[in-house]
Structure 1
Amino acid sequence: MPLIAVLPGDGIGPEVTTQARRVLEALDLGLTFEEAPVGGAAYMVSGRPLPEETLALAKRADAVLFGAIGDPRFEGLERRLRPEAALLGIRRELGLFANIRPATLFPALANASTLKPEVVAGLDIVVVRELTGDVYFGEKGHRQNAEGLRQGFDVMSYDEAEVERIAIVGFEMARRRKKKLCSVDKANVLETSQLWRDVVNETSLQYPDIALTHMYVDNAAMQLVRRPTDFDVIVTGNLFGDILSDQASMCAGSIGMLPSASLRAWSGDNGMYEPIHGSAPDIAGQGKANPCAAILSAAMLLRHSLNDEASAQRIEKAVSAALDKGARTADLGGSLSTQAMGDAVLAELV
């Protein structure tokens, strides 16, 4: 029986993962679940954001269902002890270098987008974000400059192998969709981005059927709100992908609707699946969180790690049907609680 590691995390993480797990259990697929603390919740009980037992569970599981991490109570800790260190640690230890973030506008949410309905109608974008390099993993620290002023630094770097492997994921994704790939960088000012562009161009020779374009990140941010449906698959680095995928979420109506998959291979074995939103400590425990991103992450788990496309589509259709019938949490202009939204999706699961 496939083992799913459930790592609820902090804030609204436990609330949304509970609903995602309910949906997975309702499918009656013979899955087993094992839960472990991570992030601030883990620090509270073990003094570490990523206990060895939690990491061991993640490594032996067939897939990881992740909630969210982050707690302002721990912002004063040294960086390695903060909740966020757990997420970076899991990505590094499991080799999860490819983050897949679809931004799809459900027809019923056309008016929930901050953009005009005619601008976002038919929105269906996938952001392929590199996940284990860039400034998030580069050398960082504080020092004193020649003038005696405090200076912070974060090193942005990629080697050609890191760029090639994420480019391949982008091209493969494009091949399964509309055969269009937009690579986003800042090659006009960053040497890291110039290498990125060079390697993406070299990799494109293996994919003559894919129409490749390049775009600077500032222009890409503008075009995402100007003509978002012009995009299909976007491949980009860790920092740019983090920003652009959050921006794309608002085109789709709410960050509470966007799932993600973090993979170490195109097949997605032992991937980690999580909503792209944060822990939202301001609403934690109030039943206000939208669980749809977590539920849709569970669908991605079935698709990529368990190779169960039919069950993944069952979940996605249930979410769509619930929205069509007016189910809405507060972020979508409604009044349903987290659990009530989960109930609405379960009611449509056929």
Structure 2
Amino acid sequence: MTKTLLILPGDGIGPEVAAEAVKIVNWLRAHRGFDVAVSEDLLGGASIDVHGVPLTDAALEKARAADAVLMGSVGGPKWAGQPYDKRPEAGLLRLRKDLDLFANLRPAICFPALADSSTLKREVVEGLDLLFVRELTGGVYFGTPRGIEDLGNGERRGVNTQVYTTSEIHRVARVAFELARKRRNTVHSAEKHNVMESGLLWKEEVQKLHDAEYADVRLEHILADNCAMQLVRAPKQFDVILTDNLFGDILSDQAAMLTGSLGMLPSASLGAKDPVTGKQPALYEPIHGSAPDIAGKGVANPCATILSLAMCLRFSFDRGEDADRLEAAVAQTLADGIRTPDIWVEGCRKVGTAEMGDAILKRLAA
């Protein structure tokens, strides 16, 4: 049966990097028997410009029906004056929430060829391979009440609510424990139980689930601020880091720079499998932003998007061999000294977005 893949290029550099992933998809269709129907729609500012909203109901339904969604990026200064619920990012948040994509997987891998591109010493980051499991549909980004209110006398107050339930914590923790079993069998659960009741609940419920179902997995509780420090001090101590929506957003971006560039990190956002059909809602995206300062210049790094496609092949299309080949092609291209400006160092060949995509495709086809 033909699978379906929806492409949402988005804004800024999104269309440029998404185009390089589409090249890979087309090659896999032609040479590896990848039976997939590809369609495209608008998201973010691109959708606002055409439809007046960051995500249309029709685009949402296409995403719901697809076997997987691959996106580029959203946002930019052009739409910064909009209310929060009308900004490009609101389209992405709605996509995550309505598809119930509660588990965000963000690997942070330092490719050997990029160890010197990190701002940390080679010995600190060389060989780094950690995985964030971030809760994605709860917490402070979605909690209510929220808003800005006028208190009078020139005073205003901004309110956001951090809230989690037992079931929300258990389902994402279960993903982290299951993945840890396939890796190095260690989970660090990061929160702020020392000052936040939601953090205390998180810690207690993760521990309960661990004791009941995953006692074979090593579990360590760590305060989120200490986790931030340890990521800079000794990042290779971590295997799987489980955390909430807010801390996961911040800590995974910090970890991105350990690898040399935000342009190198992919992500997968997964929902629950349908108990009857086995279909699992899934969204794959690079964790970098829309980078409006370089949009249209043809210099953006497509590696994170291409590696997001590799995750898509692995998790949504059960094509692990193709995922391995694609990841190896990225690694070999970097080892060949071919680099976009964000990861370029003296002695390497500096290339643009399309040329980087072509180089990876050449390695894939070799």
TM bucket, shorter chain:
over 0.9
Matched, 1:8 2:12: no
Contact 1:269 1:304 in 2 (8 A): no
Which consecutive residues of structure 2, in runs of 5 or more, have no partner in the other structure? none
Aligned residues: 350
Cα distance in 1 for partners of 2:137, 2:123 equals 37
Cα distance in 2 for partners of 1:22, 1:270 equals 23
Cα distance in 2 for partners of 1:68, 1:171 equals 29
Contact 2:143 2:163 in 1 (8 A): yes
- Matched with 2:333 is 322
Matched, 1:62 2:62: no
TM-score normalised by the chain length of structure 1: 0.98
Residue 148 of structure 1: CA displacement?
A: 6.1
- Matched with 1:138 is 143
Cα distance in 1 for partners of 2:176, 2:95 equals 22
Residue 335 of structure 1: CA displacement?
A: 2.1
Output one character per residue of 1:160-193: Cα deviation in whole Å (capped at 9) or x when no partner. Answer: 1100111101101111100000000000000000
Classify the secondary structure of the residue corresponding to 2:350: coil
Classify the secondary structure of the residue corresponding to 1:348: helix
Matched, 1:239 2:246: yes
Matched, 1:30 2:41: no
Contact 1:268 1:304 in 2 (8 A): no
Q: 1:331 aligns with which of 330, 334, 342?
A: 342
Output one character per residue of 1:130-183: Cα deviation in whole Å (capped at 9) or x when no partner. Answer: 000111001210123487620101000101110011110110111110000000
Cα distance in 2 for partners of 1:25, 1:292 equals 17
Matched, 1:167 2:173: yes
1:184-333 → structure 2 map (5 Å cutoff): 184-205=190-211, 206-265=213-272, 269-333=280-344
Which consecutive residues of structure 1, in runs of 5 or more, have no partner in the other structure? none
Classify the secondary structure of the residue corresponding to 1:349: helix
Cα distance in 1 for partners of 2:240, 2:25 equals 28
Cα distance in 1 for partners of 2:236, 2:331 equals 20
Contact 1:100 1:127 in 2 (8 A): yes
Cα distance in 2 for partners of 1:321, 1:265 equals 34
- Matched with 2:364 is 349
Cα distance in 2 for partners of 1:97, 1:268 equals 15
Cα distance in 2 for partners of 1:277, 1:223 equals 22
TM-score normalised by the chain length of structure 2: 0.94
Output one character per residue of 1:297-338: Cα deviation in whole Å (capped at 9) or x when no partner. Answer: 000001011111111111101101101101100000252100
Classify the secondary structure of the residue corresponding to 1:181: strand
Contact 2:101 2:281 in 1 (8 A): no
Between 143-152 and 286-295, report the one with greater CA deviation.
143-152
Cα distance in 1 for partners of 2:290, 2:71 equals 11
Residue 265 of structure 1: CA displacement?
A: 2.9
Cα distance in 1 for partners of 2:224, 2:152 equals 32
* Counterparts in 2 of 1:248 and 1:218: CA distance versus 1, 3 Å: same
- Matched with 2:185 is 179
Output one character per residue of 1:97-117: Cα deviation in whole Å (capped at 9) or x when no partner. Answer: 000000001111110111100
Classify the secondary structure of the residue corresponding to 1:110: helix
Classify the secondary structure of the residue corresponding to 1:284: coil
Output one character per residue of 1:188-243: Cα deviation in whole Å (capped at 9) or x when no partner. Answer: 00000000000000010111110000110111000001000000100000000000
Q: Give 4+ residue runs of structure 1 displaced > 4 Å after superposition.
A: 145-148
Contact 1:274 1:297 in 2 (8 A): yes
- Matched with 1:77 is 82
- Matched with 1:91 is 96
Classify the secondary structure of the residue corresponding to 2:148: strand
Structure 1 counterpart of 2:216, one-letter code: D
Structure 2 counterpart of 1:330, one-letter code: P
Cα distance in 1 for partners of 2:269, 2:314 equals 13
